[in-house]
Structure 1
Amino acid sequence: MRAHRVAITGLGVISPYGGNDTDFFERLLAGESAVRHLLTDDVPRPLSVPAVGCTGFDPEALLGKPLALMMERFAQLGTAAAFLAWAQAGLPRQPEAGDETREDWGCIWGTALGGVAVHERGHRDMWLKGRERLSPLSVVQGMNNAVNAHISIQLGLGGVSTSHTAACASSGIAIGEAFRRVRSGEAAVMVTGGSDVCQSYGVVRAWEAMRVMAPGDAQTAPSACRPFAADRAGLVLGEGGAALVLEAWDHAVARGATIQGEVVGFGTSCDHSHLVRPHREGQVRALRAALADAGLAPADIDYVNAHGTATTEGDPVEISALREVFGDGAPGLAVSATKSMHGHLLGACGAVEAVVTALALREQAVPPTAHLAGRIDPACEGVDHVLQGRRGVPLRAALSNSFAFGGSNAVLALRAPPAR
């Protein structure tokens, strides 16, 4: 079976900044943090943590009221992002009569939490408010595959429709599997990405119990997430959705689509050593597998969007893995962790950061790791940390890392689009 080049023809993101993909990237280039202080009125103990929310997101405006009411928020975020990517790809929402080509097109999505908020709300309604019955929509709103199901229905996609759940690597794996299907010729077009909403009361409390969440109040919250910094204090949970339309290169060219970038490789591995403690060798294997799959050498990579969560244990392990893979070239390797600005979206972070990486290649610019200047942990040195946004940088290829609890590692290799 002939291998097909895989073009990115659509990028969509629902982010805390609002606007389109260009607006999103410009805010990141400027080093603008979207982290705010979240204070709730929960009983018996309110939440008071730094967090990232898409406060300007209007699901009814982007999806229409009937469809929006069918969905939990994680599905609204994901489906809206997919619609934006689909529109950028220049494809009509529904196939024309008699057009059977979409019977082979599909959707693969990633989410770590899915509709956990639905079940938490149901628990509160029954145990705290005394309700005897829940909404009949609870099951379809809460299922993890709700996003890919809605996308497939709305866009008329008759091929594979499935979701991946692998903690923070969920959407990285989803994109990689969608890439493989297009490259193999199994599908000419795939919609892929991820979405998650991480601010449910029980979710936040669970992460607090692990002692890996950054503290902060209304004044200090914007700088709470400081990946690779000596004084980093933990991760900041966020929400959002991001989507990519992947398309066989010849198919995209034949219909005159604008190519936003190219996915060229995908590498996975399992640390198989510890449930929550990252392992350098597992990450090294995933990085090398992505490079080998792409047919690229370390010297061909100009930028890495790091997983970089700002945890004391995870950050040095990732930098150590990059030093191992890139060897003598590591000191010149541009690395940044954009979670410092948009937060950690758990199962959606791989998709959001793949979009960031594609935009970096498209715009020939590198976003920074915010709040890092003058603070780099000596254990995280050895690469070229991007402290301020860089424009006009000649970027040929880049990697996007997703390293998850459970030891699941996913690395995507992307290449810049043709010059326009």
Structure 2
Amino acid sequence: MNRVVVTGMGAVSACGLGVPALWSGAVNGDSGVRPVDFPAIENQRVGTAASLSDQTLSDLSEALKHRMRDPVAVYAVTAAEQAVAQAGLGEGDFGDACGVVVGSGFGGAKTLDDNYFTFAVDRKMRLDPMAVPKIMMNASASWVSMEFGATGPIYTPSTACSSGSQAIGLAYQMLKSGAMQRCLAGGSEACLVGGVFRVWELLRVMTADKNRPFSKDRNGMTLGEGAGILVMETLESARARGAEILCEVVGYGTNSDAGDLLRPDPQRASACMTLALQDAGLDPSAVGYVNAHGTGTVANDVTEVGALRAVFGDTLDGVEVSSTKPIHGHALGAAGAIEAVVTIKALRHQMAPPTINFNEVDPKVNLDPVANTARPIDTGAVMSNSLAFGGINASLIFARFDG
């Protein structure tokens, strides 16, 4: 079995373009949540989201004019370009040896929303003739593949909030088995459009105030969007290129609840984390930081902390836990990938980013989730968790590369 390493990372988020902007926001507690307005929604109840800033949209303006790409594909390609540049990959490093695995929850949401609105409200029959290739879920992965000439396997996990984590996990498994030498893996989401936002309002899971994961006064999540892409390689491939190795991917676990479609099962979530630890050959005590799914809904946070206690012990001694979703929002299909980037940066900087907006420990949760200010850590391994609608769990473990 091959060892698998990360040699490049890219990100598009509410914090800005690039990994440095994302990490700066996460570690310093500078939220990218801002006011949003959707003219098509009458009586909009929730007025904020972690949307891309005007500056970021301006920087992407030329790319967003692409006739064949929905914003979801633009975000994915942009993050992939950053990751490829950091990894130092050249034209000869792709081909059949390189695969692409990019997950998404909604695919081309803007294209779908625009065309449905034009057809149903304006009653126009002249719609975007390129709507189908822009909407299809695999468009982001396919455009990343075409951008770099990566002709290896392409996969597009669409497993709600676990899409990005499962994409990285699937890439890890294929690299480990020798199915390819390197892979561009992650997730992309461009879901902040009127129709999607409205149906999330109807679920009554979004906060009209601030996202406060694990806090006693938490009352819901904040939607986000963006992309996170990793360049993942076999250790042999990275060494042959003389690439800088950012970290090693050592463990991955995924399972399903086969229970309620919307409510996570703590026993299945803890089983997923245990699978990742077993895959890594690590004791729970080896993990010093967990980037939690941490949505900030009343029920989810209780469930997740229960799962964490089952794995790490009742006191969670020796492990810092935080949610960075109040910074970059819940980016759905891109969430796991964006959070993987943050988790790797936490490992490299030995700093646990804070859970901002935290006010008071909830006796039902009884957790201090790196409240409001980053904390130093001293650990060789970190974990990132995703617990998705549909009962789909995914856990990733990254470790310092020891040669």
TM-score norm. by structure 2 comes to: 0.95
Residue 240 in structure 1 maps to residue 226 in structure 2:
yes
Q: 1:155 aligns with which of 142, 148, 152?
A: 148
Q: How does 1:122-137 map to 2 (within 5 A)?
A: 122-137=115-130
Q: 2:369 aligns with which of 378, 382, 385?
A: 385
**Residue 257 of structure 2 contacts residue 391 of structure 2 at CA under 8 Å; is this kept in 1?**
yes
Q: 1:407 aligns with which of 378, 391, 396?
A: 391
Paired position in structure 2 for 1:394: 378
Paired position in structure 2 for 1:143: 136
**Residue 267 of structure 1 contacts residue 410 of structure 1 at CA under 8 Å; is this kept in 2?**
yes
Bigger drift between 304-313 and 244-253 goes to 244-253
Q: 1:324 aligns with which of 310, 317, 327?
A: 310
**Residue 16 of structure 1 contacts residue 52 of structure 1 at CA under 8 Å; is this kept in 2?**
yes
- CA deviations over 1:58-77 (Å, ceiling 9, x no partner): 57856965983321111111
Paired position in structure 2 for 1:363: 349
State the one-letter code of the partner of 1:20: G
Paired position in structure 2 for 1:193: 186
Distance 1:60 1:233 in 2: 33
Distance 1:46 1:163 in 2: 32
Paired position in structure 1 for 2:20: 22
Q: How does 1:18-417 map to 2 (within 5 A)?
A: 18-42=16-40, 44-46=42-44, 48-56=46-54, 65=63, 68-92=66-90, 94-95=91-92, 102-216=95-209, 224-327=210-313, 330-372=316-358, 374-382=359-367, 385-390=369-374, 392-417=376-401
State the one-letter code of the partner of 2:85: A
- CA deviations over 1:266-316 (Å, ceiling 9, x no partner): 101111121111111110110000000011110100000000000000001
Distance 2:375 2:321 in 1: 15
**Residue 367 of structure 1 contacts residue 386 of structure 1 at CA under 8 Å; is this kept in 2?**
yes
Partner-residue secondary structure (3-state), 1:379? coil
- CA deviations over 1:145-201 (Å, ceiling 9, x no partner): 001101111111111112010111111111100001111111110000001122221
With over 3 angstroms needed to count, the CA separation of the structure-2 counterparts of 1:26 and 1:16, relative to structure 1, is same
Bigger drift between 225-234 and 47-56 goes to 47-56
Distance 1:170 1:358 in 2: 18
Partner-residue secondary structure (3-state), 2:66? helix
Shift of residue 24 of structure 1?
1.8
Residue segments in structure 1 that go unaligned for 5+ positions in a row: 217-223
State the one-letter code of the partner of 1:346: L
Paired position in structure 2 for 1:219: none
With over 3 angstroms needed to count, the CA separation of the structure-2 counterparts of 1:66 and 1:236, relative to structure 1, is closer
Paired position in structure 2 for 1:220: none
With over 3 angstroms needed to count, the CA separation of the structure-2 counterparts of 1:48 and 1:274, relative to structure 1, is closer
Distance 1:43 1:385 in 2: 35
Distance 1:17 1:45 in 2: 28
Runs of 4+ in 1 over 6 A off after TM superposition: none
Distance 2:41 2:178 in 1: 53
Partner-residue secondary structure (3-state), 2:220? coil
Shift of residue 390 of structure 1?
3.5
Bigger drift between 52-61 and 264-273 goes to 52-61
Shift of residue 376 of structure 1?
1.9
Distance 2:135 2:337 in 1: 21
- CA deviations over 1:28-80 (Å, ceiling 9, x no partner): 11111111121232264456422111124657856965983321111111111
Distance 1:173 1:57 in 2: 31
State the one-letter code of the partner of 2:294: G
Shift of residue 391 of structure 1?
5.7
State the one-letter code of the partner of 1:400: S
- CA deviations over 1:343-363 (Å, ceiling 9, x no partner): 100111000001111111111
Distance 1:405 1:184 in 2: 29
With over 3 angstroms needed to count, the CA separation of the structure-2 counterparts of 1:111 and 1:249, relative to structure 1, is same
Shift of residue 207 of structure 1?
1.4
Partner-residue secondary structure (3-state), 1:302? strand
Bigger drift between 192-201 and 306-315 goes to 192-201
Partner-residue secondary structure (3-state), 2:168? helix
State the one-letter code of the partner of 2:148: L
Give the aligned length: 403
Distance 1:401 1:65 in 2: 32
